[in-house]
Amino acid sequence: MTARLASYAWLWLSAVMIALDQWTKAIAVEHLIYAQPVPVLPGLNWTLIHNYGGAFSFLSHQPGWQKWFFLIVASAVTLGLMEWLRRTPRSNWILCLPLSLLIGGAIGNLIDRASLGYVIDFVDVYYQTHHWPVFNVADSCVTVGIVWLICYEIFSKEARTERQNGKP
């Protein structure tokens, strides 16, 4: 049993990311005025935004629905990722690391949706007049996790192919 759940130790990383995410969001809510950018560096503002649905704009004006839609999808994805993590050996950090980041990121935003009905975003990156959609620490974890996993899949496939090709 203990051996089976060994890779759950990686959830400590998820927990750290969740804490970091919620802490930064709390600071943003405390110090920022809604939708009023605070310049930090050239190309970076802190801009507090409430995200009710974002990408799924068709849901964002269906009153009430989007909250449940996102809650259910995010919960399902989190459970799936945890199962994946459980089946991965604890020492396989190349896979465990992105999985635990993804879990942390998903839960970070899930907490917002469940308690507030929206997600708190505040990182506003831009170049001249072109703005990236405003995001937060949880989004960063998810993005890094996904990119990592994609790279991992590509490289491991190449490695497999090479190994197979290399066989006499």
Partner 1 sequence: MDYKNTISLPVTDFPMKADLPQREPNRLAEWAASDRYHAIQKHAADRPMFVLHDGPPYANGDIHIGHAVNKILKDIVVKSRLLAGFRAPYVPGWDCHGLPIEVAVEKKHGKVGQKLDARAFRAECRRYAAEQIDRQREDFKRLGVLGEWENPYRTMDYAYEAGIVRSLARIVDRGHVVRGFKPVHWCFDCQSALAEAEIEYGNKRDPAIDVAFKFIDGKKLAGAFGLEGSIDDASLAIWTTTPWTLPANQAVAVGAELVYALVKTARGHLLLAESLVESCLLRFGMSGEIVATTTGARLERCDVQHPFYDRVSLLILSDHVSAADGTGLVHCAPAYGVEDFHAVKRYSSEVLNPVGGDSRYAADLPLFGGQRIKDANPHIIALLQERGALLSSTEFDHSVAHCWRHKTPTIFRATPQWFISMDAASLRKDALSAIDTVRWIPDWGRERIYGMIENRPDWCISRQRTWGVPIPLFVDRERQLPHPRTGEWMLAVADKIEQGGIDAWFDLDANDWLGADVDRYEKVTDTLDVWFESGVSHSAVVCSRDNLGELPVDIYLEGSDQHRGWFHSALLTGVAMYGAAPYRQVLTHGFTVDAQGKKMSKSAGNVVAPQQVMKSLGADVLRLWVAATDYRAEMSVSDEILKRVSESYRRIRNTCRYLLANLNGFEPQNAVALDQMLPLDRYLIGQAHALQQKVIAAYDSYQFHQIYQDVHAFCAIELGAFYLDVLKDRMYTLQRDSLARRSGQTAMWHVLEALTRWIAPILSFTADEIWSYMPAREHPSPLFHTWYEQLAPVPSDFGLNAATMALLMQIREATQLALEPLRRDKAIGSGLDAEVDVHLSALQADALRPMANELKFLLIVSRATITTETAPAGATVVEREGISVAVAPRVSVAAKCVRCWHHVDDVGTHPDHPEICGRCVENVVGEGEVRAWF
Positions marked active-site: 121, 139
Cβ atoms of 138 and 17 closer than 8 Å: yes
Candidate list 60, 75, 88, 140; residue touching partner 1; CB under 8 A: 60
In the chain, helix, strand, coil percent, each to 5? 65, 15, 20
> Which DSSP state fits 1?
-
Q: Read off the DSSP letter of residue 7.
A: G
| Smallest distance, partner 1 to C-beta of residue 67, A | 9
**Is residue 47 within the footprint of partner 1 (CB under 8 A)?**
yes
Among 31, 87, 131, 157, binds partner 1 (CB under 8 A): 131
Q: Which is nearer to partner 1, 3 or 41 (CB)?
A: 41
Does residue 120 interact with partner 1 by CB under 8 A? no
Is 64 near partner 1 (CB under 8 A)?
A: yes
Q: How far is the CB of 118 from partner 1 (least distance, A)?
A: 8
User: Are the C-beta atoms of 64 and 55 separated by less than 8 Å?
Assistant: no
DSSP alpha helix (H) spans, 3-136: 11-31, 57-60, 65-87, 93-116
Q: Which amino acid is at 115?
A: S
Do residues 122 and 28 touch, judged by C-beta distance below 8 A? Answer: yes
Contacting residue, 61, 86, 157, 160, with partner 1 by CB under 8 A: 61
Pair type for strands 130-131 and 119-127:
antiparallel
* Per-position x/- string for 12-31, each x denoting binding to partner 1 as judged by CB under 8 A, each - no binding: --------------------
* Binding residues vs partner 1 (CB under 8 A): 34-35, 37, 45, 47, 49-52, 57-58, 60-64, 117, 124, 126, 128-131, 133-134
